[in-house]
Amino acid sequence: MFGVVPKALWNKVHPADENNRCTWTMRSLLIEEGERLILVDTGLGNKQNEKFFSHYEPSGPDIDSSLKEHGFSRDDITDVFLTHLHFDHCGGCIEVVAGEPVPAFKNATYWSNAQHWEWATKPNAREKASFLKENILPIKESGCLKFIDTREGIAFTDHITLRFCGGHTDAMMLLQIEYKSKTIVYMADLLPSVHHIPLPWVMAYDMFPLKSLKEKEAFLKEALANDYILYFEHDPEVECCSLRSTEKGIRAAETFTLADI
């Protein structure tokens, strides 16, 4: 998760267990805008076998319980927005019912983009294990899939525009959301956690780490200049943060939750 950064450094801020595994979260985002209820990313899902889950030992609340806590159910979701198609971001899109894969959100349109879809369905050998056919292909086969144009700054809704990154995987999408006079960016895997803000802290999972580094640097300068709020998908402790300039570069300033805004 921290690439070339020595464990002696990253273990101080994000300690590993006896199997060298760290605790992470898969923090989806629910956006209510007008008559649309948009779910951003869907986590691992539950259809993989016991061997698969034994590698990750998932725990904690699932999407159903989280939706119920806010007065919703899966059937209320109108849009499922997928930042990218790695299994920890789209695994919950499809469930198996009577032995058949079906959309887990039956009333929703699923959103990806053609460039990333091509990349994910014809994967390279290094990234193939992250793109599981059972997560991806049934989305298109169901007829629920739509593609977004890969144009920087394209509008998804009245209050959401999209950004595109290619360092982690080709044509990953980030949402830039206007909310309560603030700009919130859902960071997906450009910045998985607050500890990935320092420029060299780039995941070994990234297909093109030098591109990731350039994308991080450009984004962080823009975010600092415009007072963006960063929303982290994988950080188990920090949901959101603002930024500040320091002698060592751009770093987190305040940390808080979306509910605090």
Q: Residue 40: its pLDDT value, please?
A: 98
Cα–Cα–Cα angle for 138, 105, 50, nearest 5°? 65
Q: Quick one: DSSP state of residue 170? A: T
Cα–Cα dist 111/121, whole Å: 15
Quickly count: other Cβ atoms within 10 Å of residue 108's Cβ.
22
H or E, element range at 51: helix 50-54
Contacts of 238 (CB under 8 A, 6+ apart): 193, 194, 232, 252, 255
Q: Residue 44: its pLDDT value, please?
A: 95
User: Given CA atoms 130, 233, 184, 217 in this order, what sign does their dihedral have?
Assistant: negative
3-state secondary structure of 9: helix
pLDDT digits (tens, 9 = 90+) for 75-87: 999 999 999 999 9
Cα–Cα dist 196/185, whole Å: 15
Cα–Cα dist 35/164, whole Å: 26
At 50, the amino acid letter reads E
Quickly count: other Cβ atoms within 10 Å of residue 18's Cβ.
5
Nearest to 57 by CA among 47, 44, 66, 67: 44
Q: Residue 194: its pLDDT value, please?
A: 98
Q: Please give the domain boundaries of the chain with CATH numbers for all domains.
A: 15-260 (3.60.15.10)
According to DSSP, the β-strands at 100-103 and 94-97 are antiparallel
Cα–Cα dist 119/121, whole Å: 6
Phi, psi of 223, rounded to the nearest 5 degrees: -65, -40
55 exposure class (CB count in 10 Å sphere: 0-12, 13-18, 19+):
exposed
Q: 199-203: list long-range contacts, CB under 8 Å, 24+ apart.
A: 199/249, 200/3, 200/4, 200/5, 201/2, 201/3, 201/5, 201/10, 202/3, 202/4, 202/167, 203/1, 203/2, 203/3, 203/168
pTM of the predicted model as reported, rounded to 2 decimal places: 0.96
Structure tokens at 261: 């805004």
Cα→Cα distances 169→15, 83, 134, Å: 26, 10, 19
Q: Residue 94: its pLDDT value, please?
A: 97
Residues of the chain with pLDDT under 50: none
Q: Residue 210: its pLDDT value, please?
A: 97
